Amino acid sequence: MSITNLHDPSTAPRPPPASSNQPQPTLQSEVQRLTQLKDDLNASLEVYFGVLTTNKVNMQTPLIDPQGFPRSDIDVAGVRTARMQIIRLRNDLQGVQNEMEKLVERGLPRGEEGALVEEEGDAVMSNGTVSGVQQEETPFARIDGVFPGSPADTAGIKREDLLLSVAHLNSTNHDSLRAVGQLVGASEGVVLPLGILRSAGEGQEKQRLTLRLTPRTGWGGRGLLGCHIVPI
């Protein structure tokens, strides 16, 4: 650059246009990406919570003694750093959870009025009710057991219920239940609509129900659902 051009504003090079041949991300690939990101964030959180555990403190424990001096029995600098990282990682994790929620919603096609519509054609209205529009459906799994107090129990799932759909997944795309496992693993704290076929009693037709299941940890048992699902 010449002396005369020394103070001219520089122009950053423009990035090359995205190739139209690049594959577009699919719903399944996005679920996998967000699942991996969530796992990485949780792994980092475990490391920093380990720092707190080692020092026998939590996020609220005072780091100064009654005289106002930094405590000598703990690594004050390390604990402060761990706390700041935990706050940052929690915020990042919340952002991932929000993306997952949008991803689940994106997987459900929208009707003319903007209401979410499940794969089988039941309109999920904003108040959580379901219209009576139904199409032919095929169960692809059976509930073999439900643990009391679990997310599945809270959602109203019962043993011997037949699973028709989990959000956008149904008998045509559940991939031997692997896709269901991936979706559930990526949807902690996200409400998933379930299509359920339930026996109404001997000699009566089965009921078609739509339930709302929110996968979560910390309910007192293993897994995010608290029910046993077997393929049929």
Distances in whole angstroms, Cα of residue 81 to Cα of each of 42, 52, 78, 140: 17, 10, 5, 49
CB 138 within 8 A of CB 232: no
- How is residue 227 written in tokens? 């029910």
Q: How far apart are CA 123 and CA 112, in angstroms?
A: 10
Q: What is the pTM of this model?
A: 0.47
Which residues, in sequence order, are bridge partners of residue 208? 197
On the question of pLDDT at 206 being above 90, the answer is no
Distances in whole angstroms, Cα of residue 165 to Cα of each of 120, 139, 212, 227: 8, 8, 12, 16
Instruction: Of 56, 50, 57, 45, give the one whose Cα is nearest residue 87.
Output: 45
Q: 78 falls in which pLDDT band (50, 70, 90)?
A: very high
Backbone angles phi, psi at 141, to 5 degrees: -155, 160
On the question of pLDDT at 15 being above 80, the answer is no
Q: Which of 119-123, 156-160, 221-225 has the lowest mean pLDDT?
A: 119-123
Q: Which residues contact 80 (CB under 8 A, 6 or more apart)?
A: 63
Q: 21 falls in which pLDDT band (50, 70, 90)?
A: low
What's the whole-number average pLDDT of the chain?
Answer: 78
Q: Which long-range contacts (CB under 8 A, 24 or more apart) does 128-131 make?
A: 128/212, 130/210
pLDDT of residue 121: 40
Q: 149 falls in which pLDDT band (50, 70, 90)?
A: very high
pLDDT tens digits, one per residue of 81-97: 999 999 999 888 888 87
Q: How far apart are CA 43 and CA 39, in angstroms?
A: 6
CB 120 within 8 A of CB 165: yes
For the ranges 2-6, 21-25, 117-121, 178-182, the maximum mean pLDDT occurs at 178-182
Which residues, in sequence order, are bridge partners of residue 142? 162, 230
pLDDT of residue 20: 54
Which residues, in sequence order, are bridge partners of residue 163? 141, 196
pLDDT of residue 191: 85
pLDDT of residue 72: 92
On the question of pLDDT at 164 being above 90, the answer is yes
- How is residue 150 written in tokens? 């679990």
Distances in whole angstroms, Cα of residue 59 to Cα of each of 46, 50, 51, 63, 104: 14, 12, 11, 10, 32
